[in-house]
Copies of this chain bind each other. A is one copy, B any other.
Amino acid sequence: MQLYSFFNSSTSYRVRIALALKGLEVDYHGVNLRAGEQRQPQHRELSPIGGVPVLVRDDGLSLTQSLAIIDYLDALYPQAPLLPAEPLARARVLEAAQLIACDIHPLNNVRVLGYLQQVLEVAPEEKDRWYAHWVAEGLTALEVLLQRHGQGPYCFGDKPTVADCCLVPQVANAERLGCDLQAYPQVMAVYQHCLAQPAFQLAAPGRQPDFIQ
């Protein structure tokens, strides 16, 4: 399999964590989002929306959307399952994952920040305020969900799930952008626990072939 990824794309990072947790190796192709490579016609063949990650199977079929890719990997490679089997436990994991994937990340990704700057001509400090606002709204809610339903050391117990695959890249991004994360102790405890695990380390931005300082 091949993975089209950008080292500090958080959705790519989610899939890299899932692959590492399952012990799967892929051919890695860097797509430089800063240089706009995701909008090139040959990349749009793989990803019509012009994004990463893209998983390409050995028969050439390509699949987009990080959570669809992770669900697919989980179906095909059942080792280290990323979703519990019991319906309510599964729902809690998906609730946390979708909260990050729908209510935080889409507002703060490259194309949206680009639109704010280039089309709406928003000042840099207003763009940072936008970023911090959605991170704070989302992580406040995630903290409540984890405090209510989670139990460490991962989001939901002693095995990593797709919720952890989403949490780590989101918190890493927020940290990189200088957001204040003190108000989310359980989120941060999960984050620190994950960062200490080899699979999460393998998937980290700094370990990718397309890493740029």
Contact = CB atoms under 8 A, between A and B. Distances in A.
Interface of A: 47-51, 61, 63-69, 71-72, 75-76, 87-88, 90-92, 94-95, 97-99, 101-103, 105-107, 111-112, 115, 119-120, 122, 126, 129-130, 133, 137-138, 140-142, 144-145
Contacts of A66: 98
Contacts of A72: 87-88, 90-91, 94
Given A94-B68, A103-B106, A61 B49 contact: no
**Oligomeric state, in number of copies?**
2
Given A48-B144, A63-B95, A71-B90, 18 more contacts: A49-B99, A49-B141, A50-B141, A63-B91, A63-B92, A65-B98, A65-B102, A67-B98, A67-B102, A68-B97, A68-B98, A71-B94, A101-B101, A101-B102, A102-B102, A103-B106, A111-B137, A119-B133
